[in-house]
Chain A
Amino acid sequence: MKREDETFQLDRDVVKKARRSSYRKMIGMSAIVLFVGGLAALVLLGAWNSWSLHRTLVEEELRASVYGANRHVGTFDESVGPVTARAETVVYSLVRGRPVDHERWTTDASHRTLLHDGETGGRFSQQSGRKVKQLYVPGVTYEVMEDDQPKLERMPRTTVAEVAVSFTKEEPVESWLRRVPDSVTPLWVWFGSQGANEEDEPVTDEWALGMSLVDDAGVPYDDPVATWIEDATRYVDATDDAFVREQLERVTKGNIAVTGAVVTGRPNVLATWNDPSIRTMSIGAVIDDYEEETT
């Protein structure tokens, strides 16, 4: 091989080597950029998922503070990842401060309770088997109107029943609360229903709009009206629910008329409770309670 050819071959080898090294570095750098960018994207996706999950949960908490007859939402158990974010909790009723009639709530499931008609009357949640409380709008004639008050007479006295009471007409909340017997505990009052006149169906406890008189732990609020106004204002701002807005305006003006309530008490006391305002009673949760009466 001539000297010029040898030099040319050497130059070609050097160029080849340099090019190979350059390619290797380029691939390496691109891989690092992809890796680092991917990690950042994972973090951003996780942050986005977390943010949108919290928005859903805040909305659900606010919804539960205006809708639901003595139905409370527990603490959320959250799991957030870059791909999915979910949360679950339990919805429960409070009877004598005890959480009962649990129903699982998750962000990735339908929240409408499917109802099942019982053989001896009443409607039950297909999901949990709990008896669903039903409320009847005053002035509306129903084809079938179930009244559980006679059933209360047959219940043992060592139990405490949760009962949804429907009124014959709208009543100012204060005058009605004054007439509630001492041994009966009012927990929630009903503000009425939207569109109930159109369908001949009672309002179920999860969709009834009203004001809770106790917090999620069962402790009575110092000022339930102010608490409700605060929650309803935030709920209306977040969802623009026209019916809640209408009720909010009414309650803010001081017109707190109610069309029903949820109370708890001994069955014998509830069975003999005679008040002209009561149209029907619908039993919800019933618990054993052997505590001796102090009165």
Chain B
Amino acid sequence: MNKTLQWLFLIILALALNVLVVPMAAFSLFGTQEGTSIFSLDYLIAFLVWFVPNIIVIQLIIATKKSLDRERFIGYLFIGVQMILLFTVYSFSVPFAAIVWIGGAMQVIIVALLVVTIRKRQPQLG
């Protein structure tokens, strides 16, 4: 696949993911008092709500940069599954415990995939 197209796909996926993640992170600040320091626990939680689902984007950036087709494809699959989960959370009332367990388990696998992607060497031609 053309490299430009790969980056374009990645940008679309990152934007689409953040359409759901950013409002959720903002929503986690709903009860925060005005004037609260940016280094408070509330902001840390909001940052984590935004950052954790975005780990897959980091994995995809590395896989695209290294031209690791297999890892990139797996990354795409995970971003798809993650979107379904986020959409379910966004559109229907899902028990909090279910979000934590399913989302947590998936993030563990995503982090493992990220480690594999970082450690794998870029394939050499010829």
Would B76 and A26 count as touching, CB distance under 8 A?
Answer: no
At the interface with chain B, which of A35-43, A214-222, A255-263, A264-272? A35-43
In the complex, A42 Cα to B16 Cα: how many Å?
Answer: 10
A114 within 8 A of partner (CB):
no
| A29 interface contact, C-beta 8 A | yes
28 A–B contacts from the bound complex (CB under 8 Å): A25-B1, A25-B73, A26-B1, A29-B1, A29-B9, A29-B76, A32-B13, A32-B76, A32-B79, A33-B9, A33-B12, A35-B80, A35-B83, A36-B12, A36-B16, A36-B80, A36-B83, A37-B12, A37-B13, A37-B16, A39-B16, A39-B84, A40-B15, A40-B19, A40-B20, A42-B87, A43-B90, A47-B23
Closest to B76 in A: A32
Number of A-B contacts (CB under 8 A): 52
A84 within 8 A of B: no
Interface footprint category on B: 20 to 34
Interface of chain A residues 44 through 67 with chain B (CB within 8 A): 44, 47
Give 17 A-B pairs besides A28-B76, A43-B19 with Cβ atoms closer than 8 angstroms. A25-B73, A29-B1, A29-B76, A32-B80, A33-B12, A33-B13, A33-B76, A36-B12, A36-B13, A36-B16, A36-B17, A37-B16, A39-B87, A40-B20, A42-B87, A44-B19, A47-B23
Contacts of B20 in A (CB 8 A): 39-40, 43
Residues of B75-121 contacting chain A, CB below 8 A: 76-77, 79-80, 83-84, 87, 90
- Type the 1/0 row for B51-85, where 1 means its CB is closer than 8 Å to any CB of A: 00000000000000000010011001101100110
Task: Please classify the interface of chain B as helix (H, G, I), strand (E, B), loop, or mixed, using the class held by over half of its residues.
Answer: helix
What chain B residues lie within 8 Å of A36 (beta carbons)? 12-13, 16-17, 79-80, 83
Task: State which residues 12-51 of B face A: CB under 8 Å.
Answer: 12-13, 15-17, 19-20, 23
Report the contact-size class of chain A (Cβ under 8 Å from the partner): 10 to 19
**B16 CB contacts on chain A under 8 angstroms:** 36-37, 39-40
Q: Is the CB of A22 closer than 8 A to any CB of chain B?
A: yes
Bound-complex Cα distance A26 to B73 (A):
9
